[in-house]
Chains A and B, each alone.
Chain A
Amino acid sequence: DTGVSQDPRHKITKRGQNVTFRCDPISEHNRLYWYRQTLGQGPEFLTYFQNEAQLEKSRLLSDRFSAERPKGSFSTLEIQRTEQGDSAMYLCASSVGTRYGYTFGSGTRLTVV
């Protein structure tokens, strides 16, 4: 297993367009997390899956954001009608349990112009 993979690494989009990011977690990890990180800040929690069930969503996750994890494997994060404030690094992580730590992917850098 090569770790957590995220695709694409970079995405530049025009305001108002929809974007979708993909995350492939470590296969043995049943927990998958999405975080958002802006420059100079720590990661902010967006949402969490255990297997295919989305168990928690942050209030940061507006109606324009949706995440799925079909079949409990890979996950997608979609942002509709992007705004400039959505520009950030979107990080995916997987884990077998919180106290064992997360394994993060390299992130997707989104720039909305």
Chain B
Amino acid sequence: TQLLEQSPQFLSIQEGENLTVYCNSSSVFSSLQWYRQEPGEGPVLLVTVVTGGEVKKLKRLTFQFGDARKDSSLHITAAQPGDTGLYLCAGGNETSGSRLTFGEGTQLTVNP
């Protein structure tokens, strides 16, 4: 069974602060994705990383895939209240067929 562990589980910060969320596994993934989910809605895809060591930037968000493709991080610079939400990482590979395995999520609250 492939598991993805996210840390921290909860994070409450002030507007303007920086933060990093981690996603770790003992399994290798061929691709890893980050989603953001708001209450009462489905997750929305933020980014997909496929190459070990890959770094992608999306405005104030920086995503990194570990060299061994077992872990990933999401860094947010100068967080804003609009960044509040549940951040989910999800991994996929050939042995899991076409489905993604999701972590339990990091609930981020950015206070004004």
Is B98 a contact partner of A104 (Cβ separation < 8 A)?
no
- Number of B interface residues in the complex (CB < 8 A): 27
A42 touches B42 (CB 8 A): no
Residues B91-112 near A (CB distance < 8 A) = 92, 97-105, 107
B-contact 0/1 string along A101-113, CB 8 Å cutoff: 1111111010000
A107 to B43, CA, bound (A): 10
> Which of B31, B40, B103 contacts A42 (CB under 8 A)?
B103
Instruction: List the B side residues contacting A102 at CB < 8 Å.
Output: 43, 45, 100
Compute how far the CA of A104 lies from the CA of B97 in the bound complex, rounded to whole angstroms: 19
Separation in Å of the A78 CB from the closest CB of chain B?
20
Interface residues of A in 68-113 (CB under 8 A from B): 91, 93, 95, 97-107, 109
Query: Quick check: A50 and B40 within 8 Å, CB to CB?
Result: no
Say yes or no: B101 contacts A45, CB within 8 Å: yes
State which of B41, B100, B104 has its C-beta within 8 Å of the C-beta of A107: B41
In whole Å, how far is B46's beta carbon from the nearest beta carbon of chain A? Answer: 9
In Å, the complex CA distance between A33 and B102 comes to 13
Would you call A55 and B98 a contact (CB within 8 A)? Answer: yes
Q: How far is the CB of A95 from chain B (nearest CB, A)?
A: 8
Asked if A104 and B31 make an inter-chain contact with CB atoms under 8 angstroms apart, the answer reads no
How many angstroms between the C-alpha atoms of A99 and B48 in the bound complex?
7
Q: Is the CB of B33 within 8 A of A41?
A: no
Name B40's contact: one of A40, A41, A104, A106 (CB within 8 Å). A106
Q: Which residue of B lies closest to A46 (CB)?
A: B99
Which residues in A have their C-beta under 8 angstroms from that of B105?
A: 40-42
Q: Is A43 an interface residue (CB 8 A)?
A: yes
- B41–A97 touching, CB < 8 Å: no
Tell me if A48 counts as interface (CB < 8 A to partner B). Answer: yes
- Closest residue of chain A to B47 (Cβ to Cβ) is A101
Decide if B30 is an interface residue (CB 8 Å cutoff): yes
